[in-house]
Amino acid sequence: MGLRESPYSSRVLGGLDTTMRALLFPGYWLANEVLALQRCTGEKPRCAPYGLEVAVRGPLLLLLLLLYSPVSLLALLLWLPLQGARRPFAYQHTPGRARPEAWALPGPARTLRLLSGNVCLLPEGLAKFSNVWRTQWRARHIGQSLAQAAQCSTPCAPTGAPNGLAMPHGLPGGPAAVLGHPWGDPVVTVELLPVEEVGAVAGEANGPGEIAVRCPPNLDLLCLQEVFDLRASAHLRHFLAPQFEHIIHDVGTYGLQGCSALKLLNSGLFLASRYPLLAVEFHCYPNATGEDALCAKGLLCVQVQLGACQGRRVIGYLNCTHLQAPEADGPIRHEQLNLSLRWTQLFQDSHAQPGDVVAFDIFCGDLNFDTCSPGDAMEQGHEIFSRYIDPCRLGPCQDEPWAIGTLMNPLRIYDEAVATPESLKRTLENPEERRKYLAGPLQAEGSANLLATWHKGRRIDYTLYRQHWRPGHLKTAVEKVFFFTQLATCSDHLPVGLQLLVSSEVEPEAPARKDPL
């Protein structure tokens, strides 16, 4: 049985929710317009002076908001009880497009491409606190850009592999990298492609990292954060639906359901997949504080079906999250990571079936800590990095030479040097120039480290993966790690892409041999 599209099991409840949201919208719009009176650095001067606009529009908007507040309050009181019957996500299925080729066992090596990014699609008034604006325009632009990247998505075997099978590769100087097994086995081997074959960031040491203007074609999975605005979400779904048949949106619990405080915004998580979704779960973090307590941040867990062979499912796991934002809240983020690991394992244990072949297991999202800031020391040593592999990380407080920060300095995202995808790419490839535009490391108390004269920026957006080392599972190798500049000025984050080569060493089950009579 497939997923139900509506978050409500009853059409009556769904209709009531739609009606209450329609009654709440005028009050929401008026409050948003009041907050949007602030200016961001990218806005051009208008005909009327800014002070005059605030003096005229501000009181008028506040008066209308006050007059409409009784209707908003009544609608809110009627809407809150409905949330107890709401599933914490909505699902959009768009049939009709050509489905991706199913994965076969045994079969050719396959390339899996994932993109994760914080797109800052908050209501306009809140988005301006991050110095971005035009939320609806940005949503359409982001949707069009990502849809174009996913067009003509036909999986194929990597070039240079005879008969479509993956060639074994290893690290320079040895056949493979030896790592501690996440679950306690003595050692495992994870094969990485030779650095000379997979390109490099200009001006940096060789490695699989690449600063790219355009998102690569054939995207399989898309994980976005901060898609809070429901109209922006609708724009994204409109453009992405022709390329991604399965979309999870409006993720999170509203009201007082499942979390410790009143939730007025959802989690902001948004997931699109070309492959069918077998199971979806969302868990809300119970320890959010401050402004983060008003939104239902949590962990989204998804089980994806890639194919089947002889009754065995070929599946993948994708876990997406967005952790507590304020820099000084390291203990809260640490506990949220603990909860994430627990929920991830419970989800996989509860939805696994005998004979399943796991092709990938990815943990991604905006984790709001980096590997260069002394203030993030607690999160840098978290257990998650012993269970999942960060391809950009060498160890605590140390990244690969080719890795760069993903958080921009929000006050400078409209500067000419970073205002277009091409100029942003050129700037990021220059170590001296990029330090001017990437957010710098933090001190232990959470404030910016103004004395840091050398840094590669705060890399707070992660794409982690792990290998399931059990008989019959598939092997995973990192081909590329991308830092994309296509969304220049649309967000204060750089989207991150992960390209994995998944190869099969699974042999088909031999037919039963009949004994001679």
Q: Model confidence over 267-310: pLDDT tens digits?
A: 999 999 999 999 999 999 999 999 999 999 999 999 999 988 77
pLDDT of res. 267? 96
Query: Which residues lie below 8 Å from residue 173, measured CB to CB, with a gap of 6+?
Result: none
Band of the pLDDT at 1, cuts 50, 70, 90? low
pLDDT digits (tens, 9 = 90+) for 371-416: 888 889 899 999 999 999 999 999 888 899 999 999 999 999 999 9
d(CA 124, CA 126): 6
Where in 274-399 does DSSP place strands (E)? 277-284, 298-309, 312-322, 357-366, 393-395, 398-399
Beta-bridge mates of residue 492: none
**Per-residue pLDDT tens for 171-230?**
233 333 322 333 333 222 333 333 333 333 433 445 789 999 988 888 999 999 999 999
Over residues 235-261, the pLDDT tens digits come to: 999 999 999 999 999 999 998 876 668
* 493 catalytic residue (yes or no): yes
Length of the chain: 517
Task: Kindly indicate the confidence band of residue 162, based on its pLDDT and cuts at 50, 70 and 90.
Answer: very low
d(CA 104, CA 164): 12
Looking at the DSSP assignment, which residues form a beta bridge with residue 305? 315
Residues facing 222 on adjacent strands? 115, 272
Cα R_g (the chain), whole angstroms? 24
Give the domains, in start order, of the chain with CATH numbers.
11-74 (no CATH), 90-151+206-504 (3.60.10.10)
Higher-confidence residue of 475 and 49: namely 475
Comparing 38-47, 106-115, 439-448, 481-490, which segment has the lowest mean pLDDT?
439-448
Is the Cβ–Cβ distance between 191 and 477 less than 8 Å?
A: yes
Q: How many CA atoms lie within 13 A of 444 on its CB side?
A: 0
- Rounded to 10°, the helix 11-35/50-82 angle is 160
The one-letter amino acid at 90: A
CA distance 69 to 109: 59
Which among 455, 468, 473, 493 is annotated as catalytic? 493
pLDDT at position 205, please? Answer: 45
